[in-house]
Amino acid sequence: MGQIAKIKGCRTVGIAGGSEKVRQCLEDFGYDAAIDYKGEGDLDEALRRACPDGVHVYFDNTSGSISDAVLRNLALGARIVICGTASYPSWNPWNTGPRPERHLLVKRARMQGFLATDFMDRFPEAEARISQWIREGRVNYREEMHDGLEHAPGSLQRLYKGENTGKFVIRLPAARTLRNA
């Protein structure tokens, strides 16, 4: 997401777990700044240094304590896009924590969920544009390919522990077609 934001003219700040992922954000993906949330003693202070005018747009795919810190550092009129809750491996029982309402109110911010399936009619447009950016070298990506559904449970555990280094892909064997007898 940060690379697309950068292409569209935004200043980008990555929040990643570990020095290698911070290096990736800066060197491989071209972010303007990056914060190691695992190594940073005071995430609020790190966010204030990286975003002295506050956070204007936050693409949230983790939820949890990182999002809590970002909410405390919102700029006026900020926008929050929620596309995931990776910091919670389970929602049974339902997770509780700090409430965002006061931050949203006083900063006049907007929070909205985002599911790619809501934009399926625009998929060809997105695919063409992102493919072009990849060909031009403007967007880089990392994938971890795992073959077979049997790898899914372990892969999800690695994701929740922050051990992944790219998009997790579980490749399934092609479905057999039924032939007329």
Q: How many structural domains are present in the chain?
A: 2
- The C-alpha atoms of residue 2 and residue 15 are separated, in whole angstroms, by 10
The amino acid sitting at 105 is: L
- The pLDDT of residue 164 is 77
- The pLDDT of residue 84 is 85
User: Is the same domain home to 67 and 31?
Assistant: yes
User: Is the same domain home to 6 and 79?
Assistant: yes
User: Is the same domain home to 30 and 99?
Assistant: yes
Q: Which segments of the chain have a pLDDT < 70?
A: 175-181
User: Is the same domain home to 87 and 65?
Assistant: yes
User: Is the same domain home to 23 and 92?
Assistant: yes
- The pLDDT of residue 97 is 80
User: Is the same domain home to 159 and 130?
Assistant: no
Residue 65's Cβ-side half-sphere holds a number of Cα atoms within 13 Å equal to 8
**Beta-ladder partners of 112:** 81
Integer CA distances (angstroms), 114 to 6, 20, 55, 61, 131, in order: 20, 28, 18, 10, 21
Residue 135's domain is classified under what CATH number?
Answer: 3.40.50.720
- Whether the model clears a pTM of 0.85, i.e. scores above it, the answer is no
User: Is the same domain home to 74 and 94?
Assistant: yes
User: Is the same domain home to 59 and 70?
Assistant: yes
SS3 103: helix
Can you give the residue range of the structural domain that contains 161?
143-181
For the chain, the average pLDDT equals 89
User: Is the same domain home to 158 and 113?
Assistant: no
- The pLDDT of residue 181 is 47
- The C-alpha atoms of residue 168 and residue 171 are separated, in whole angstroms, by 10
User: Is the same domain home to 127 and 153?
Assistant: no
User: Is the same domain home to 113 and 168?
Assistant: no
- The pLDDT of residue 21 is 93
User: Is the same domain home to 17 and 103?
Assistant: yes
- The pLDDT of residue 16 is 93
- The pLDDT of residue 177 is 54
